[in-house]
Structure 1
């Protein structure tokens, strides 16, 4: 079983003989309700039945419920050790699989290493690529060359932010005030309010690209997740109500936010690609809920696309779920390979 413990979602994948046979995704906002994680782990563990080995990665240690990332790694590791049985390993990125007892001495290898698991799996199946995973809040960009992960020298969030390999732009949960400072609207440019009125889920819904299975958290106003509700929230970002303009105007406004987000990720991709570690022919391997956005980006970069699920042996009806849960799926296979 591979486990990917985020601050907002828990994802898990069960593999049998390197074939992923089941995937789970649960809402676990541990910054306000840590018990939601414990309950979700118990439920998944019960549904999975006996499991020989567990491999765990995390990003939830950055949640502000913890006073430090060290405290977060240690608590999450302790909780998982208390709730699971069998062989339990923590994934430490380039450091490989570690024991629960290694959590304290390897905090910065373990913290936020889920991107490495997905990229490492991809590197075992494709010689060169730019691996990209766009989740609900962030996007990872990792070069793969000569069948190896070519991440920047530093693997911490700080280092990855500086190198362009980590971008805080996500498919659904990113607040629109973090996407653009100003937007075009009916022929004028209007500043965007610094208020948590709407998210990218509203944008994706209005432009028609949202799969509702990717929007599991409450809307910014805790209101209805309808087309009209999303238009209302987006309109508020520029100090207006939906009655102030026609429906088409709000769709164009949503497209403006979507474009601003793609440009931010595009800039990061150009920064990573400028290191010339991969050739112009290398494709994008895309993962995460935001695969539709990443496919648009691939077109701009004039590169081919490989879906991460194509690199995983699985039933066809699990492909979307595996795309959303790439690190957990990768870990479930990597853990088996490590012990074979």
Structure 2
């Protein structure tokens, strides 16, 4: 059975088929929810017609929806219309797929369930071990404990996972700098950051040469391309300067500091999740569009660096790694759903 998986977020839509083709596109759901159907139709036109579409989502949290239930309903409605007459199923945190009518009846089971699909699929790589899945994306970080390859998360909803530290609302691309720290070292003093979205985590890793420049990527804080020069300008603006007032070396110093602070945030949450596990992890799986950041954190960790470490991005094509949750639901549905 040929299946297409969709992971519909508030800022990106990720798609993958059960054969391993994948595509990710930026889509500001919170700005234009009425365009979701047409955007999905255009995205799906790059694939052959599927026998089934499997969906997971995080976009229900977008502030264009008054409640998560409304978000789930509207996302499913747009998706049903976009894929009709192909049947549609939805992943839920009980580790199974639901038809759309049941998903609407129990929206909190399917809301923000993409992490669970990913952990269920990747967990089979360590079927006889306890481990950790560290997935760092553009916006958030998921830290998922695994027991014999099965996710055993303490929390299931977003707020439960925030409280358990299994969800950290920071990522390798979209996080505003002022959400990483409120001040930075600058000219021998501590300078407060402007509480604006002048620059994001993407700019840190561009300037530090840990992320690749892309002249065609305008999904940045100011809409200018994702280049090192533009990252320098955006970081300067974060302390209310321009490049005539702040040297590149000063911007690099700020970037180093904020990158370290972001990694500390993730590391603190990682330690809390590991400490709560009944048996120490023997393996670590790393994935996500910011897997380079996950690798830095794990390789520097005094305990986890000694485990068996698998970088999923080195096993699959980069497009699959970036759309891993969509690929996960496509593969799981191909195995589990009968139509």
TM-score by length of 1: 0.91
* CA-to-aligned-CA distance 1:288-312 (integer Å, 9 cap, x gap): 111011001001224243122466x
Q: 2:268 maps to which residue?
A: 267
Q: Are 1:9 and 2:17 counterparts? A: no
User: Are the aligned partners of 2:10 and 2:62 in contact in 1 as well (CA < 8 Å)?
Assistant: yes
Shift of 1:234: 0.7
Shift of 1:163: 0.2
Q: Are 1:203 and 2:207 counterparts? A: no
Q: More displaced, 29-38 or 101-110?
A: 29-38
Where 1:48 maps in the other structure, the secondary structure is coil
Q: Are 1:306 and 2:310 counterparts? A: yes
Change (3 A) 1:217 1:65: farther
User: Are the aligned partners of 2:95 and 2:120 in contact in 1 as well (CA < 8 Å)?
Assistant: no
- Counterpart CA distance in 1 for 2:287 and 2:11 is 18
- Counterpart CA distance in 1 for 2:248 and 2:313 is 36
User: Are the aligned partners of 1:92 and 1:106 in contact in 2 as well (CA < 8 Å)?
Assistant: no
- Counterpart CA distance in 2 for 1:261 and 1:90 is 33
Q: 1:315 maps to which residue?
A: none
User: Are the aligned partners of 2:132 and 2:144 in contact in 1 as well (CA < 8 Å)?
Assistant: yes
Shift of 1:326: 1.1
Q: 1:314 maps to which residue?
A: none
- Counterpart CA distance in 2 for 1:337 and 1:310 is 24
- Counterpart CA distance in 2 for 1:329 and 1:95 is 16
Where 1:305 maps in the other structure, the secondary structure is strand
- Counterpart CA distance in 2 for 1:266 and 1:148 is 22
Change (3 A) 1:118 1:213: farther
Change (3 A) 1:224 1:290: closer
Q: 2:79 maps to which residue?
A: 80
* CA-to-aligned-CA distance 1:302-330 (integer Å, 9 cap, x gap): 4243122466xxxxxx6111111111111
Where 1:243 maps in the other structure, the secondary structure is coil
TM-score by length of 2: 0.91
Q: 1:58 maps to which residue?
A: 57
Change (3 A) 1:129 1:217: farther
User: Are the aligned partners of 1:95 and 1:109 in contact in 2 as well (CA < 8 Å)?
Assistant: no
Where 2:285 maps in the other structure, the secondary structure is strand
Q: 1:37 maps to which residue?
A: 36
Consecutive unaligned residues in structure 2, runs of 5 or more: none
* CA-to-aligned-CA distance 1:88-125 (integer Å, 9 cap, x gap): 10111225100011122110000000000010011122
- Counterpart CA distance in 1 for 2:131 and 2:188 is 40
Q: 2:291 maps to which residue?
A: 291
Root-mean-square deviation (Å): 2.0
User: Are the aligned partners of 1:26 and 1:40 in contact in 2 as well (CA < 8 Å)?
Assistant: no
Paired positions, count: 328
Consecutive unaligned residues in structure 1, runs of 5 or more: 312-317
Runs of at least 4 residues off by over 4 Å? 212-217
